[in-house]
Amino acid sequence: MKPVIGITMGDAAGIGPEIIVKALQNRSIYEQCNPLVIGDAKILERAVQITNSKLAIHPISSVKEAACQYGTIDCIDLNLLPADLPFGRISAAAGDAAFQFLKRAIELAQNGDIQAICTAPLNKEALHKGGHQYPGHTEILADLTGTQDYAMMLSSPKLKVIHITTHVGLIKAIEMINPDRTYKVIKLAHETLTRAGKENPSIAVCGINPHAGENGLFGNGEEEEKLIPGIRKAQEEGINATGPYPADTLFYRAVRGDFDIVVACYHDQGHAPIKVLGLEAGVNITVGLKGGIIRTSVDHGTAFDIAGKNLADERSMLEAIRAAIELAPKV
């Protein structure tokens, strides 16, 4: 049975509607899933005109009304925006709508009506002007699902990386790493890939220091103190986790196929290899949300400067939808 993927429209003043329409012109998406947009039907109609698409917009109020066929975009129409919403401008209405689209998607996922959420970009300033004081999608998802322990995962066709720490300075990141967090991120990686149908996924943990410390030669024993106890705890539970490995060779080995996913210790350690493999193919994924909700996202912003000009590249949206299909719990 094909999963239902809920695609949120994001900030309608940006390129979200355009990249959704362009992505859903791809017949192979409908062969792998039933895509469903949560947004505003009239804004999607405008995007169809801008992109010279022949797709039809099908406004619906519930998932059971979806046509689920190529050539038609099913849209749960919240009808929150004016048809003439200006492109490329900060708008409180668009910021609030982006929040409401995501809120509805979370409700649908919690009810089992959709199997994963794929988000088009929102604008943080517009979100705040719309009355929602969150840094971004991830924090909204965590708050509305009551989630404390979650992690950022990046995916490209050849490499998956999950992070112990993300948006903090390097010194702070190393301070924040501890055996419990290491264990929890390993477990999140295992649970996410297992739910996606990967049997006994192989998880490789990256070292903190050069050469993963080389038995105390580099650093102050951070691997032994912060990583190895967490790895051992995971192993005792039957999780196929190993490491820590030197970062300078681990990512090469993972791309070669030796491991299913890499646990990175800090932001740039994990992000740089993914970005080198190609920005257009990178996907941002939030894992660990309560209820097993999977959320994938494009790896770019609202691009206000090109919104409404039919210049937006849909490849990251295509990859985000494909990642949602891959990671969605099998039904």
* Judgement on whether residues 144 and 165 belong to the same structural domain of the protein: no
pLDDT digits (tens, 9 = 90+) for 168-177: 899 999 999 9
* Judgement on whether residues 137 and 27 belong to the same structural domain of the protein: yes
CATH of residue 225: 3.40.718.10
- pLDDT of 331 strictly over 60: no
- CB-based burial of residue 111 (10 Å sphere; 0-12 exposed, 13-18 middle, 19+ buried)? exposed
Other beta carbons within 10 angstroms of residue 167's beta carbon come to 13
The pLDDT, as a whole number, for residue 4 is 96
- pLDDT of 102 strictly over 90: yes
Name the token pair of 115: 């199997």
Give residue 27's domain range: 4-148+287-327
Cα separation, 78 vs 113, in Å, equals 17
φ/ψ of residue 297, rounded to 5: -150, 155
The pLDDT, as a whole number, for residue 330 is 67
Among the listed residues 263, 269, 186, the one whose alpha carbon sits nearest the alpha carbon of residue 232: 186
**34 lies in a domain?**
yes
pLDDT digits (tens, 9 = 90+) for 144-154: 999 988 998 99
Furthest C-alpha separation in the chain: 63
* Judgement on whether residues 81 and 185 belong to the same structural domain of the protein: no
Higher-pLDDT residue of 105 and 135 is: 105
* Judgement on whether residues 118 and 163 belong to the same structural domain of the protein: no
